[in-house]
Chain A
Amino acid sequence: MLWPEVRKAYPNQWLIIEALEAQTMPGNRRQLGRLAVIESCPDGEAAFQRYRHLHQEYPAREFYFVHTSREELDIRERHWLGIRRGDAARA
């Protein structure tokens, strides 16, 4: 499904979606192509916690928490090198 179709099928609600196709455009915009709807959530907090859980379980898959009131998905990409701790052995 594309985003306009998702909006039509699931109007005005929080969803967890998975990007099946996505690319990063100039200006660090993440453009999503075909999407799969994973589940519907009662509010933003629930959607976020659900995303968090799914992301930890399937770290390689590209999930998002989104509300279908949005006409356009506005997703920016940025890079971060992560944390390299001195006491990593204790972690």
Chain B
Amino acid sequence: MRLELEGNLPFVAIRVGYRGVEIEIGKVLIDTRSASTLLSVDTVSSIGLFPLPEDTLHTIRGIGGSEVVFSRRVDYLQVGGRALNGFEVEIGGMDYGFEITGILGMDFLTRAGAVLDLGNLTIEFTGAEKMERGALAQEHFLDWPAREAQLRAYRARRGWMRRAPCPASLAGGLREPRWPPDLGLKPPQVVGVD
């Protein structure tokens, strides 16, 4: 996932899901000095994130005064390919005198296992891959029949895609695209699935 530098600060685009609706938020500052993640109310009001009576309030103090924000658990917060479910964010006015839609803080960065490469301006999640694989394995053992059905359906879809011929109109005289690249592997045999 690409980082954008603006004023020498790293920004990234994120996705937030709340009550079944998703929005993409661009220009979120990555800030390793911020303990938590804060989103601007103007950005998230479109998905119905307003204060509720039971919300906990946070007062953020620092250079340039203080700000009261409310805290809410969203369905997920996603950066690139990494999503954290049931993630708690703060929502505030963020009236700092310049355009900013959010701050991605250490709570997300550490839990997601973020790796910032400031030479290449990318954010990756190497730890995340491990976690997801772990979770997948757990699911695999806990719910074997469901997992088996999932795998069968996935293989069936792939088998179907492979069997579909490339339309001549699209091929346009080019050689037939080869995917996956030829590694000397045979396509999986799909048994008992249409």
Contacts and interface: CB of A to CB of B under 8 A. Distances in A.
Partners in one complex: yes
B45 interface: yes
A63 B93 CA distance: 13
A25 to B, nearest CB: 13
Nearest to B94: A52
A83 B9 CA distance: 9
Interface in A55-90: 55-56, 59-60, 62-67, 69-70, 73-83, 85-88, 90
Contacts of A75: 56-59, 68
Interface in A1-23: 14
B50 A76 contact: no
Nearest to A30: B59
B52 interface: yes
Nearest to B64: A82
Contacts of B45: 45
A80 B50 contact: no
B51 interface: yes
B62 interface: yes
Q: Tell me what chain B mostly uses at the interface: helix, strand, loop, or mixed.
A: loop
Contact of B57 (A56, A66, A79, A91): A66
Given A45-B50, A78-B60, A79-B62, A52 B95 contact: yes
A77 B54 CA distance: 17
Interface residues of B, number: 37
A91 B7 CA distance: 10
Contact of A77 (B36, B58, B70): B58
A47 B67 CA distance: 15
B63 A81 contact: yes
Interface stretch (B27-35, B120-128, B166-174): B27-35
A44 interface: yes
28 contacts: A14-B53, A44-B50, A48-B51, A51-B68, A51-B93, A52-B95, A55-B95, A59-B65, A63-B68, A64-B57, A64-B68, A65-B68, A65-B70, A67-B53, A69-B53, A73-B57, A74-B57, A75-B59, A75-B68, A76-B58, A79-B62, A80-B34, A80-B61, A81-B63, A82-B62, A85-B9, A87-B6, A87-B8
4 A-B pairs closest in CB distance: A86-B8, A67-B53, A44-B51, A87-B7
Given A64-B68, A80-B62, A91-B98, 19 more contacts: A14-B51, A44-B50, A44-B53, A45-B51, A48-B93, A51-B68, A65-B70, A66-B57, A74-B56, A75-B59, A77-B58, A78-B60, A78-B61, A79-B61, A81-B63, A83-B31, A85-B7, A86-B9, A91-B97
